[in-house]
Amino acid sequence: MAADETLRVALGERGYEIRIGARLLDRAGDLLAPVVPLRRTVVVTDEHLARTCHPERLEASLARAGIAARRVVLPAGEASKSWPLLERLVEDLLGGGVERRSTVIALGGGVIGDLVGFAAAVSLRGLGYVQVPTTLLSQVDSAVGGKTGINSPHGKNLIGAFHQPRAVLVDTTVLDDLPPRELKAGYAEVVKYGFIKDAGFFAWLEEHGGAVLAREPEALAHAIRRSLEIKAAVVAADERETAGERALLNFGHTFGHAFEALAGYDGGLLHGEAVSVGMARAFDLSVRLGYCAAGERDRARAHLERLGLPTRIGRVGNRRCRPDELLAAMGRDKKVENARLRFVLVRRIGEAFTSAEVPEAAVRDVLGEDG
User: What is the Cβ-side half-sphere exposure of residue 19, based on CA atoms within 13 angstroms?
Assistant: 19
**Given 246, 297, 301, 342, the catalytic residue:** 246
- For residues 186 and 136, give the distance between their C-alpha atoms in angstroms, rounded to a whole number: 5
Catalytic residue among 166, 250, 303, 342: 250
Q: For residue 233, what are the CA distances in angstroms to 8, 193, 357?
A: 9, 12, 27
CA distances from 324 to 258, 262, 271, 286 (A): 11, 12, 21, 20
Active site residue 257: yes
Q: Known catalytic residue: 271?
A: yes
371 in Cβ contact with 312 (< 8 Å): yes
Question: Residue 340 catalytic?
Answer: no
Which among 19, 156, 231, 342 is annotated as catalytic? 231
Task: Confirm whether 253 is a catalytic residue.
Answer: yes
Distances (CA, A) of 345 to 35, 195, 197, 253, 279: 39, 10, 12, 11, 9
Q: Given its phi and psi angles, is residue 308 left (phi above 0), alpha (psi -120 to 50 degrees) or beta?
A: left
- Concerning whether 48 is annotated as a catalytic residue, the answer is no
Q: How many Cα atoms occupy the beta-carbon half-sphere of 134 within 13 Å?
A: 26
- Residue 368's contacts (CB-CB under 8 Å, 6 or more residues apart) are 323
The single residue of 27, 163, 253, 297 carrying the catalytic annotation is: 253
State the catalytic residue, choosing from 59, 78, 206, 241: 241
Q: Which of 59, 189, 206, 239 is catalytic?
A: 189
260 has catalytic annotation: no
Q: What's the rounded Cα separation, in Å, for the pair 136 and 130?
A: 17
Catalytic choice (19, 257, 297, 303): 257
* Dihedral over Cα of 150, 155, 159, 164: its sign: positive
Residue of 13, 125, 338, 357 marked active site: 125
Q: Which of 271, 281, 301, 342 is catalytic?
A: 271
What span, in angstroms and rounded, lies between the C-alpha atoms of 245 and 235?
Answer: 8
Q: Rounded to 5, what percent of the chain is helix, strand, coil?
A: 50, 20, 30
The catalytic site residues sit at 125, 147, 189, 231, 241, 246, 250, 253, 257, 271
